Amino acid sequence: MISPPMPTHLLPTRAISSLSNGSAATASPSSPSMAARPRRFPTGLQSVAGRGKFSVAAITLDDYLPMRSTEVKNRTSTGDITSLRLITAVKTPYLPDGRFDLEAYDSLINMQIEGGAEGVIVGGTTGEGHLMSWDEHIMLIGHTVNCFGTRIKVIGNTGSNSTREAVHATEQGFAVGMHAALHINPYYGKTSIDGMVSHFEAVLPMGPTIIYNVPSRTAQDIPPEVIMAISDYPNMAGVKECVGHERIKHYTDKGIAIWSGNDDECHDSRWQHGATGVISVASNLVPGLMHSLMYEGENATLNEKLLPLMKWLFCQPNPIALNTALAQLGVARPVFRLPYVPLPLEKRIEFVRIVGAIGRENFVGQNEVRILDDDDFVLISRY
């Protein structure tokens, strides 16, 4: 979806001036955290606002309104983000009509906090941000901040394959108080190496940022040269890396904070390859055990105990299995926004066995795990 342009009455004064007289806006950063290097472009190219007399973009990188506002709340430092060991990519539950089930969502966030999660990704792939309107997306970020922002770090997934959308959503996310942003590289309409660098440089001045590399979804790797090109930005918190141990070790040797994006690799990434922690799907279900895995030293026994669950969670594309599991545990209603549908019956039966092996007491919720029938699930195509 394409966000409408920002009304001129919301633009910084210098930007409006440049629109009226055709000159480029020039400004210096308003604080050290705003410091940004000049925009990088391949040789012979420059930023173009459009055809005609505007040869340079009317709004420069240091003119983002929310970062200049005195009303920005819950500001946090990049260091506050890089210290987080367990971040949950949290599920978004739904009501039978497809709207957000905020009561179930709040309960799930509380269970994350009680289980030891230190941060949540709101509206990520697991949270089905791609099935939300931007209004829903920003509302859920703001709701999470307002209800839980003093107890857990709120990281909003405001990335997009459109730089314009990423910039606009990130401005809004920080305006409603999120502590950090998660940004993916442009997918489907892929870009060049220089294009990736420029895309990330467009959002980095706004606040603490985690870059997300998941080539299995984007069909394009973020190579180390891109990460190194942006690594000295003050707001560059680190990378959620899904490529594997060798890549993680390459970055941690250079002092870059890395979170494993793979639950089944996170133990070894943390204790053998220097990862800061994990951005986890499994912690939706067993936050306490995932906290132990990240904090209590090498524990091959616990890791082996959790591997069947981790493998099961990715037997089909995430978040299909997680949605099914939370419904079976009675933590979320069995409501799916299409195109997601529940796991088949044999996988639901397998989940009950996995819960028994790990121990029901280690999972979220108070209800007994159930094997749901096909007719128990509600599939929503319009919401």
> What CA–CA distance (Å, rounded) separates 152 from 148?
6
> What CA–CA distance (Å, rounded) separates 301 from 267?
11
Q: What is the per-residue pLDDT for 76?
A: 86
Q: What is the per-residue pLDDT for 324?
A: 98
Q: For residue 218, give both structure tokens.
A: 């984007």
Q: Are 317 and 360 in contact (CB under 8 A)?
A: no
Residue recorded with tokens 């996310």: 173
Give the β-pairing of 236-241 and 209-213: parallel
* pTM for this entry: 0.82
| 275 φ, ψ (degrees, to nearest 5) | -65, 145
Question: Does 212 qualify as catalytic in the annotation?
Answer: yes
List 105, 212, 233, 251, catalytic entry: 212
> What CA–CA distance (Å, rounded) separates 255 from 239?
12
Which residues of the chain are modeled with pLDDT < 70? 1-74
DSSP H helical segments within 233-317, as ranges? Answer: 245-252, 266-272, 287-295, 300-313
Burial annotation 348-379 (CB, 10 A radius, 16+ → b, else e)? bebbbebbeebeeebbbbeeebeebeeeebbe
List 91, 94, 233, 240, catalytic entry: 240
Q: What is the per-residue pLDDT for 193?
A: 97
Q: What is the per-residue pLDDT for 259?
A: 98
Distances (CA, A) of 362 to 17, 288, 302, 321, 367: 59, 7, 12, 18, 12
Question: Does 91 qualify as catalytic in the annotation?
Answer: no
Q: Angle, to 10 degrees, between the axis of helix 193-203 and the axis of helix 163-175?
A: 20
Residue 142 CA, chain-centre distance (Å), reads: 15
Q: Are 108 and 284 in contact (CB under 8 A)?
A: yes
